[in-house]
Structure 1
Amino acid sequence: MLKSLVQSALFSGLFLLHSVTYANPERIKLGMSVALSGPASHIGIQLKGGHQLYFDYANQHVLDDKMTLDLLVLDDGYEPNRTVDNTHYLLQHHKIHALIGNMGTPTTHAIKEILKRHQLPLLMPYTGANFLYQSPQFPTFALRASYLEEAEEQVKYLVEELGHKKIALFIQADEFGLTLEQSHRQALRDKGIEPVVIARFRRNTNDVARALTQILLTDTTAIAMIGTYEPLAAFINQAHRAGFRGTYTSVSFVSSTALFENIIIPAQVMVTEVLPNPTTCTGQICTLYRKLSKDKKRVISYPAFEGFVNAYIFIAALKHCDVKSFSTCIVPAIRKERETNPIIKALFKQQKSHTAYPVYRSYLKY
């Protein structure tokens, strides 16, 4: 009979989200490094919560008595050096079998060599960084569309649908920004367009005044933005006060719900998303997510939903693997579930797309 013990503990900055114990179980330890503090914590807290929501449900209703699953979460504040420290700690002190749901491009890029050296699986990180789709030399599975695919959808919206040709880039000055700069440049170049100007701001700050001045000195009519919701909302609010009335886009990492809530002026914004709208989508995953969120009094959001879907797919794949073969088994098993599981396939078929991972949209309009 299943005997489940769900724990929440805080010890030296480490959150043990849940642990299921059985008589003689095989133990799988998952690690996660996300921002639980600092300006990007809104995303990290929801990602953690989404994973926890489904894992707790799975403990009670899905898992059998053959396996124990631990999820250990550390706060990196969306700073790469802390992600490196967290990863070393999780490997050395907790002997984790994989990372799941790690958040951010600069933070993920910083641990590439660790992942290669240990052949540590990186499962469904919260980033569409291009290097994850280009033979990364460590086991990985990306659930979401790439940032290039998100950039192409934004350029389609701005150029083909709205007719903009004077497009600026407002970019976080780090690996995340560089990845999206390359993706947007490529997508614009395919339409015969170059950015009017590229303006940058520092990660984890709202210091956007200089970048705004750079853009306002040009004839820009639309701005593709790359960053977290606080600096992007600050930029849009300040740009409106300065007289700019153009169109904005942003990628899914921003957390569209938080961005829209913090824009206090009329604005036209489109955010690309990697999952259907969790408040309106159909199918078993969507229905279960909304029910559990309501039962647990959790806010429904894209980041939390992504964490929930990550956990759902992981649990579905876990039946194909055991502890001994886990590092080589889990990525092919997740891929198999993504391609063949009818419930998961139904989630991603709610929009017609020429790619395996469709790109969706959220809007804020005048």
Structure 2
Amino acid sequence: MLKLLVKTALISTLFTLAAQTTAEPKEHIKLGMSVALSGPASHIGQQLERGHELYFNYANQQQDAEQPHIQLIALDDGYEPSRAVDNTQYLIRHQRIDALIGNMGTPTTHAIKEILKRHQLPLLMPYTGATFLYQNPGFPIFKLRASYLDEAREQIRYLVDELGHTKIALFIQADEFGLTLEKSHRQALKDKGIEPVVIARFRRNTNDVAKALTQILTTQATAIAMIGTYEPLAAFINQAHRGGFRGTYTSVSFVSSTSLFSNIIVPAHVMVTEVLPDPHTCHGHICDLFRNLSKTHKQAMTHQSFEGFVNAYLFSQSLKHCDYTKLSACISTAMPHTLNTDLALRALLKQQQKSTAQRPVFRSYLKY
């Protein structure tokens, strides 16, 4: 009888301790981010980080004492896959993050996919439209962006249907990012019965575009779809103008239209597809809040900082539907619900929509 009482008391104590452990409030929600904070693509990563931080700081100030604060730990990978792998392992092992948010780049994201599978770590709103993320990647994921195929189709629709181009060249970064978009543009062109006149490549994180430019100038191309970061693409456009090219350019949202346009020093006609409306002119609660907070904190308003801000808003609103102690298992399924029910988000994504893609595709232009 005594043994039974002792055993019963021990079990009761264990259940009490387990309940206390489960009920213990979570002080911080830790989110990791691996982006380029240095190197040729640093402006993109810096703006993404600032946009996330802008909203998270605001959200933390609005929360009551019982709610955990959101902590963003952003690490620099220089847009290099090997550094993204190191960052991800550090964030998991030493920071014990709940999820990754806003990771930047196709090659860097592709490099960490096996780590994400092994740990079943959520990848939330990565700054890439890579195809493999839309094909059951094997880990929890939520994507806010249009796919790169959607962006490619919008560009080809613009070049072919609206401007009448049929001789289109591809200027492509030679890595996983370029390969993904080469396939997307080939498919979009094939849908119009067109093949690219030439595919010219350059090395990631360099401005070594002279060889690719020579390849394209020897063809009769009248338009060029470009895939890369803003520095080499701007260098290409500036050199192409000096070489006599006067056609049309397009690029995908990854490039950062703000940075690209500011680095072009020659007359050019460029269209960049975007995944969100222009933060300077859009309307509604999220746009107003972004502009007000950016002005208060004297931050530049770019598409990248706005995307980071929207990501952070969506994440914060989705927390209402999750148990904080089980966040990693819940958040990637809570976010689609928030996207479909949050009136501010729904209003934002319906503005100026110019495509029939599942996620909207918008446009930015440089014409002079």
| Residues 286-313 of structure 1: CA deviation (Å, up to 9, x unaligned) | 0000000000000000000000000000
Residues in 1 aligned to 2:135 and 2:259: alpha-carbon distance in whole angstroms: 31
How far is the alpha carbon of 1:64 from its aligned partner?
5.2
Structure 1 position 321 matched with structure 2 position 302: no
Q: Which residue of 1 aligns with 2:360?
A: 358
Structure 1 position 302 matched with structure 2 position 303: yes
Residues in 2 aligned to 1:348 and 1:137: alpha-carbon distance in whole angstroms: 27
Contact between 1:206 and 1:234, CA under 8 Å: does it hold in 2? Answer: yes
Superposed counterparts of 1:327-346, under 5 Å: 327-346=328-347
More helix by share: 2
| Residues 143-176 of structure 1: CA deviation (Å, up to 9, x unaligned) | 0100000000000000000110100000000000
Distance 1:96 1:103, change over 3 A: same
SS in structure 1 opposite 2:233? helix
SS in structure 1 opposite 2:270? strand
SS in structure 2 opposite 1:126? coil
Q: Tell me the C-alpha RMSD between the 2 structures.
A: 1.1
Q: Which residue of 1 aligns with 2:19?
A: none
Residues in 2 aligned to 1:118 and 1:147: alpha-carbon distance in whole angstroms: 27
Structure 1, unmatched stretches of 5+, are 1-22
| Residues 36-94 of structure 1: CA deviation (Å, up to 9, x unaligned) | 00000000000000000000000112465232322111000000000000000000101
Residues in 1 aligned to 2:342 and 2:191: alpha-carbon distance in whole angstroms: 35
Residues in 1 aligned to 2:273 and 2:356: alpha-carbon distance in whole angstroms: 16
Amino acid at match of 1:236: I
How far is the alpha carbon of 1:357 from its aligned partner?
1.1
Residues in 1 aligned to 2:175 and 2:285: alpha-carbon distance in whole angstroms: 38
Superposed counterparts of 1:95-174, under 5 Å: 95-174=96-175
Moved over 6 A (4+): none
Residues in 1 aligned to 2:312 and 2:217: alpha-carbon distance in whole angstroms: 44
Amino acid at match of 1:286: C
Which structure has the larger Rg? Answer: 2
How far is the alpha carbon of 1:224 from its aligned partner?
0.1
Contact between 1:98 and 1:122, CA under 8 Å: does it hold in 2? Answer: yes
Contact between 2:26 and 2:325, CA under 8 Å: does it hold in 1? Answer: no
Contact between 1:278 and 1:305, CA under 8 Å: does it hold in 2? Answer: yes
Q: Which residue of 2 aligns with 1:348?
A: 349
Moved more, 343-352 or 310-319: 343-352
SS in structure 1 opposite 2:325? coil
How far is the alpha carbon of 1:200 from its aligned partner?
0.4
SS in structure 1 opposite 2:321? coil
Distance 1:63 1:101, change over 3 A: farther
Residues in 2 aligned to 1:241 and 1:253: alpha-carbon distance in whole angstroms: 26
Residues in 2 aligned to 1:75 and 1:321: alpha-carbon distance in whole angstroms: 29
Contact between 1:26 and 1:323, CA under 8 Å: does it hold in 2? Answer: no
SS in structure 2 opposite 1:266? coil
Contact between 2:101 and 2:124, CA under 8 Å: does it hold in 1? Answer: yes
Residues in 2 aligned to 1:59 and 1:313: alpha-carbon distance in whole angstroms: 14
Residues in 1 aligned to 2:69 and 2:56: alpha-carbon distance in whole angstroms: 11
How far is the alpha carbon of 1:325 from its aligned partner?
2.1
Q: Which residue of 2 aligns with 1:267?
A: 268
Structure 2, unmatched stretches of 5+, are 1-23
Contact between 2:268 and 2:366, CA under 8 Å: does it hold in 1? Answer: yes
| Residues 229-261 of structure 1: CA deviation (Å, up to 9, x unaligned) | 000000000000000001000000000011011
| Residues 182-213 of structure 1: CA deviation (Å, up to 9, x unaligned) | 00000000000011000000000000000000
Residues in 1 aligned to 2:216 and 2:28: alpha-carbon distance in whole angstroms: 53
Query: What is the count of residue pairs matched by the alignment?
Result: 344
Compute the TM-score of the two structures, normalised by the length of structure 1: 0.92
How far is the alpha carbon of 1:321 from its aligned partner?
1.2
How far is the alpha carbon of 1:327 from its aligned partner?
1.7
